[in-house]
Structure 1
Amino acid sequence: MKLKHLIFCFYLFFSGLAAAQEGMSKGDVLFFEYRYKSAIQEYLKEMRKQPLTVQQYLNLSESYLKLGDHERATKAYLELYKKDSVLPGYHLNKMLLGIRQTRGMDSVKVFLSTGSSSLSTELYENALFNFDLQDESIDQGVFPDIFNLNDNSPQSDFAPSFYRDQLLFTSARNLDSKKTYEPSGESYLDIFVARLNIKGDIVATRPFRGIPNFDYHQGTPYFSEELDMVFYIRSNEENGNLVFDENGKNALSVGATDRSGNFRFLLKDLSTSFYYPFYDSASGKLYFAANFDDSLGGTDLYYVYTNNGLIMSSPVNLGPRINTPGNEIAPYIFEGSLYFASDVFYGLGGMDNYKSEILEDNVYSIPVNLGKGLNSEHDDFGFILKNYQENSLIGYFASNRPGGKGNDDLYGFIIQEKPGIKTFTLNGSVLNLKTNERIPAAEIRLFNQEGKIIKEEKTDEKGMFRIEIPWQETITIQATKNRHSIFSDTYTGDALSQIQNTSYNMGIVSIDDLVEEAEDQTVLKLNKFYFEKGQSKITPAIAVELDKVVDAVSRFPQMQLRIESHTDSRGGSSTNFRISQNRADAIKDYLESNGVSSSNILYSIGYGEDKLLNDCTNGVFCLDTFHKKNERQLIVVLNYDLLF
């Protein structure tokens, strides 16, 4: 059974039911009966009499696709798109797939650059990122030697799952106990088990007897060793008969069989089909694919919380970072990575295998195509992986690529490290160091070893960011904003891996938090400090304030400063001038000895008592408080208006 049948035809309609539905044309009836060639002929006849509805035009386009006529499908989609540029997401994906097949990926990129407003931000980012990864200059990661399993049948074999030291999988191979499923012409699906030999191949394939016998579809198993339970899908049935919803649809439910052979339904809805259950023992979540009404495209990935396999919550959609306008199926988690399959337009073929890192609860990195080999121009799906002998990994998946034994075949591989293109992901925030508040719209830049910008992003309204690029051995990370300082740090090798696993926070400072107006000029904001009487020695208290100047210049290296020192009127004027100059020079020496370049300090001037701020001149009695007002040190920013 082709994968498209798994997704769209895993249910039955009563014969003639569609014809009985009011308002449906003959073309509609043929389409819903999967008779796509006849549906096309009928729709073309109906077009000569009156224009097709939008839905009928979509049916016509999809019918061409089902028959592999990408040229006519693309033409039909584009004609409809010109009339109504807001296509349903599922059909938008199909149109882009057709453009890719008939005109090449460059045409898809051009379309996105001119019409991407209809795509979600996540989908657009996913597409651009995976386009970049297809660049041959990018390290494509590990390419395993892939082998076709010997026990594949002429029918469909897919959905592998580890079962202790054996392999479970789904097959349409004929069994005397199974009827024929009319839409595919093959037997109703069933679950089989096979032993694994030392080379990772399967032998001694036989029907799996760990679940109750069933006359209709059952498949896509997952065995939980922790619960000693098999999760799988099966047709909705009661008392040995299929159960249909009001539209004549027999959908697929998710159930589980325990070690004693007892079966119970877990997820069942007569109008919704469920696929590929996967139980994550670490979180207690049961993942699955389903075609709910709120899906972002065709089939989306969801999870529910469980208590030892019992459903404890409503389904949660994995969101637009994972789910697309296409179909997503076959979730599988291994060592913090979520693997799944999708037929989204930016893949290599039909269904492709992808990997996304689980960053936190229901937060994921950009899904990365696993690349050629594990993916092809055809359908590749149902990827699984586990640790194997001698520090290696063994994995399996299904594909209908040429050279197989049947419709869908099982393939295996043994590999030394996790497959897929290695990426660098950074999550965190940009903070104002003065207020410790996050800064929205701050600019994030990543540079490679040659100083070329690899990626640019901005923090969101909460001052948070997430950025992802193909792996580089050396990366410089920068953060800044207009009228703010620049944060910059460089990481290499293991240090890059370490910062991926933490919240990476970068601190910057606004120039406006560092300066103030004083005496009609812009000065650095410092607490007032005093030298000892008649002295110019830098005390620890003075050093604390001058270190703020060092920090300010390190953050704004273009600052040009003038150091001003003033005394009060007590003492001789020439003595006061000398003391103030000594103090200005002492400040300059301290700054330069602590990293401030001499090019940043244009002047150091002692004014003595020439610029008093009050009437406390020679011969005038003043309290010490008023004299103290005249004794001051100013660090003037000469080029403040030119810095930005």
Structure 2
Amino acid sequence: MKRYIKSIALIVITILCNQNIIAQNQKLNKADLEYDQYDFIDARDIYLKVVEKGYHSAEIYKKLGDTYYYNSDYKTASDWYGKLFETYPGDVDIEYFYRAAQSYKSIDRYEESNELMDTYIAMGGEEKVIQAFENDPEYLKSLGIETFKYVLNKISVNSKFSDFGPSYYKNKIVFASSTKDLENFKTHNWNNLPYLDLYSADIDKDGNYSNPEPLSGEVNTVYHESSTAFTKDGKTMYFTRNNYTNGKKGSDDRRTMRLKLYKATKNLIGEWVNVEELPFNSPQYSVAHPALSKDEKRLYFASDMLGTYGRSDLWYTEILENNMYGEPVNLGPNINTRSRETFPYISEYNNLYFSSDGYGGYGGLDIFITPLDEEGNYGKISNFGEPINSNQDDFGFITKESEGTGYFSSNIDGGRGSIDDEIFRFVEECVMTITTTVTDIDTGELIPGAEVSLLDSNNKLIEKVTVGDDAKYTFTGHCETQYSVLATKKKFFPNEKIIVTPNEGGVIDLILELKRKEDCLPNDLGCRLNLQPIYFDYDRAEIRDDAAIELAKILSALQLYPELVIHIESHTDSRGRDSYNEKLSDRRAKSTMNWIAERGVDPFRLTAKGYGESQLVNYCSNDVECTEEEHQLNRRSMFLIQDHNSTVTSK
């Protein structure tokens, strides 16, 4: 029985298969482990201490502003960007006008934000706008629908078990649910869950169900009932049930209890009575999921009866007078496949909706649509698209197209198959599905674990997520709306893009590329703090004012973290005699160490040494012609974190 029920329509609940997911731990290399042991060093705290001591620079204000900006603290970011513009107007890079404008906007300082944005545009800045989208099904619009224009919500009365197959019934909804008390009702012997019954519920102003209760009368039994179709006058119902008639169950030659279609009428006190099965049923095949044509002269259904092309096909029968029916007619190989076609529904615009896994699509059962003419002939078949179709089973679709609303069933949010079938309501609204993938700009590789933030046009945070192994983040946004998407990851520079969605729904595939930061040696404190070059006057070793700002960062780190012990290295370029450069660099190293010690740091936490031109970082050795910029790369100071037991001799 189970095989046929699942083939026809997911009417019963499949066996839950527990799968053990084995997580694989990523290996860290030795450098990463060494680097992580110094992660307690917070560069922002150190920069704040530097500013408290009266040291500041354009670079410090930029870094502090960025630290808060990329952590969505726009109030504090705007404070630091404001200091940057006020104190160092000539050192403001173009991107800071944009970041400051976004920060001011997020705290409702719109006039200042607009002025900064005008400056940003005038300087050549341009918001990166993406308007490409994949949505051109003009013929769908002619059918009265527009794919990608739906917002989904679960209805309020979904149970913890299976709920599916809604039908309109006057001002109510009728649906199938396995919500019975397990202790008092008969259950499946193969998964110990309740049998399905039919329930009715009121529809509130928000489209949610309320006051659910079982259908009264003779419809619900100890076996499965589901998927209904009602005549417009509300007096006749067609429904699906296991092969169970007049208190007797039937089965096929393999002792499988198949599905049948039944008819019931409503009596004067509102009970469903006079239950009778339709004449084309058989114990040897299943017939299920009724749908009435607009004129109520045809009954559509799904079946695997003789003549079926696949696991189940769509059929119809003419409804004749005197409770008679015509011979079932298969809709043919142009609509039926070798797989499953099931859950037909005829809409007010005379469109045939159905579910199939035989056309290829998003995965599992997808919902398809085709128009019907006055004779019931169908036209082009189209996948209904996202967001209603997913990579799981999507079925049992009904809609009031004139209102742009409807319901359908899906197990998208569960991992247990049809046990997790739930009913969703959809409302027509112009929306965009936007998928962001985070990659390495140099290698193109995915960056799992990146943090992606979605912000509105006022730079207010909507959502923040950490991407998984696929490095993807997907959200549904509104049409004609501006969003910012920001990606950050440790050891990478952050990146953000601005998107303005078009006035028609669709899909945007966005790539956010992150640039890896230059790798610091694990113990290179200066690199971690982004120290700017420490310059000395020609042939001098005294600390200049610009160098003091950078040394203040090292001083603050030593004061914040008493466990730090550092070794200072000074280097020169290759110009001049080797022996002189070694002495000069040694004087500069000791001058640097003394500057720090004179400000209260225990000298036993400091060592210093000059290395002259012996450790050049490029090819600019003696007698090699290089630019001043290339020579400058060699004139550097390094501040290396030492273990407490390290012994570095100060020369």
The reply to whether TM is greater than 0.5 is no
Normalized against structure 1, the TM-score is what?
0.43
